[in-house]
Amino acid sequence: MLTRRAFAAAAAAAILPARAAGAAAKPSPFGRTPLVIAHRGASGERPEHTLMGYRLAIAEGCDVIEPDLVPTKDGHLVVRHEPEIGGTTDVAHRPEFAARKARKVIDGESVEGWFTEDFTLAELKTIRCRERLPQLRPGNTRYDGLEAIPTFQEVVDLAKAEGRRAGRTIGTYPEMKHPTYFAAIGLPLERRLHAALKANGLDQADAPVFVQCFEVGALKTFRGLCAAPLIQLMDAEGGPADLPGLTYAEMSTPAGLKAVAAYADGIGPNWKMILPTAADGTLAPATSLVRDAHAAGLKSHPWTVRAENVFLPPALRRGADPAAHGDVGAVYKALYAAGVDGLFSDFPGLAAAARP
């Protein structure tokens, strides 16, 4: 396990050959930047992680669609934000699966519900998706029950097919969810994902794909398997679940970013790490994080910009309804002005419209 001291020491060490300073940058397969990354699809307008949501995101102009990956009992990669699926499917209303309800500890947190690793793929395909935030996004509930949980392969196939239809490259941005937890129960993610990318011709450095994770060890393992671009996710608080002595705040310093550059191609920070909220509720000037990341040779893809008032700084809210849309355009424009290489949004159409 990498300690805080070891991680800091890595910042001063030589960068891996594939990340060597001065190495020629590969041209982007997408043709333009900053990238619009559809967070779980057009999840502000359709239930998240559904094929209909991904199709809408592409129609609205996104460059990349994001599937979060968790395994099934029989080892398939399926697309859910978390292994617990009670909040995003109708499994709780399926009497045939009532006995599957369980309580588990994931990354130190006790979670109760139904978990993908307790179902075969065939069983999961009988379950239907539903809106995760019905009180904030009631319009999305009209699509409840229409689709099954997609596999990662289905999302890759959709990206390729819709890209051909649109005449442009559509990338995928899979996230390895809780890799330490899944490795501990005999369902490690890294080799499964590598095999899927290789089978689809997405295992090269210039492939239209980014592999992301909040943990460090999984990305380092993946780097040894695959040349596909890797993104180290970061939050405004806490740290990697696999390195309890390290914080994301330390990783986002210039020294920490140099250490990240030894195994990854970019960072995915919480957007508030780039645009803090000032004391008066407005957006404060951008921090140096994007500049520091670029200085370390890293791309910056902040997450996740949402349009609803509840997710915006007070000064950008419009009215008192938490679900009403505020001035999200100000966030998009400020992030683009800060020099980000792409951003995640639940509303990819709005993000694309605001792009310079």
> How many residues are listed for the chain in this entry?
356
Q: What CATH number is associated with residue 261?
A: 3.20.20.190
Is residue 301 part of the annotated active site? The answer reads: no
In a domain, 7, yes or no: no
Block residue for tokens 């949980």: 149
Mean pLDDT for 96-116 is 97
pLDDT digits (tens, 9 = 90+) for 114-138: 999 999 999 999 999 999 999 999 9
Q: Which of 21-25, 64-68, 268-272 has the lowest mean pLDDT?
A: 21-25
Say what the pLDDT of residue 26 is. Answer: 63
Say what the pLDDT of residue 170 is. Answer: 98
In a domain, 109, yes or no: no
Say what the pLDDT of residue 13 is. Answer: 44
Rounded CA gap, 58 and 158, in Å? 10
Q: Identify whether the C-beta of residue 71 lies closer than 8 Å to the C-beta of residue 116.
A: yes
Is residue 194 part of the annotated active site? The answer reads: no
In a domain, 112, yes or no: no
In a domain, 239, yes or no: yes
pLDDT digits (tens, 9 = 90+) for 223-276: 999 999 999 999 999 999 999 999 999 999 999 999 999 999 999 999 999 999
Percentage of residues of the chain with pLDDT beyond 70 = 92
Say what the pLDDT of residue 211 is. Answer: 98
In a domain, 275, yes or no: yes
Q: Identify whether the C-beta of residue 258 lies closer than 8 Å to the C-beta of residue 21.
A: no
In a domain, 131, yes or no: no
Looking at the predicted structure, is the pLDDT value of residue 182 above 70?
yes
Q: Identify whether the C-beta of residue 312 lies closer than 8 Å to the C-beta of residue 331.
A: yes
Q: Which of 49, 76, 81, 194 is catalytic?
A: 81
Rounded CA gap, 274 and 290, in Å? 7
Looking at the predicted structure, is the pLDDT value of residue 198 above 90?
yes
Looking at the predicted structure, is the pLDDT value of residue 59 above 70?
yes
Rounded CA gap, 177 and 181, in Å? 9
Rounded CA gap, 6 and 11, in Å? 9
Range of the domain at 268: 30-82+148-354
Tell me the three-class secondary structure of the chain, residue by residue. CCCHHHHHHHCCCCCCHHHCCCCCCCCCCCCCCCEEEECCCCCCCCCCCCHHHHHHHHHCCCCEECCEEEECCCCCEEECCCCECCCCECHHHCHHHHHHCEEEEECCEEEEECEHHHCCHHHHCCCEECCCCCCCCHHHHHHCCCCECCEHHHHHHHHHHHHHHHCCCCEECCEECCHHHHHHCCCCCHHHHHHHHHHCCCCCCCCCECEEECCCHHHHHHHHHCCCCEEEEECCCCCCCCCCCCCHHHHCCHHHHHHHCCCCCEEEEEHHHCCCECCCCCECCCCCHHHHHHHCCCEECCECECCEHHHCCHHHCCCCCCCCECCHHHHHHHHHHCCCCEEEECCHHHHHHHCC
Rounded CA gap, 195 and 202, in Å? 10
Looking at the predicted structure, is the pLDDT value of residue 16 above 80?
no
Q: How confident is the model at residue 5 (pLDDT cuts 50, 70, 90)?
A: low
Looking at the predicted structure, is the pLDDT value of residue 19 above 70?
no
Q: Which residues pair with 320 in a beta bridge?
A: none
Looking at the predicted structure, is the pLDDT value of residue 105 above 50?
yes
Q: Would the CA dihedral through 86, 347, 46, 58 be positive or negative? A: negative
Looking at the predicted structure, is the pLDDT value of residue 10 above 90?
no
In a domain, 198, yes or no: yes
Percentage of residues of the chain with pLDDT beyond 90 = 91
Q: Is 13 exposed, middle or buried (0-12, 13-18, 19+ CB in 10 A)?
A: exposed
Cβ neighbour number for residue 60 with a 10 Å cutoff:
18
Rounded CA gap, 352 and 332, in Å? 9
Pairing of strands 109-113, 342-345: unpaired
Q: Which residues pair with 183 in a beta bridge?
A: none
Looking at the predicted structure, is the pLDDT value of residue 8 above 80?
no
Looking at the predicted structure, is the pLDDT value of residue 332 above 80?
yes
Say what the pLDDT of residue 4 is. Answer: 53
Total domains present in the chain: 1
Say what the pLDDT of residue 30 is. Answer: 87
Looking at the predicted structure, is the pLDDT value of residue 27 above 90?
no
Which two tokens mark 261?
């550059």
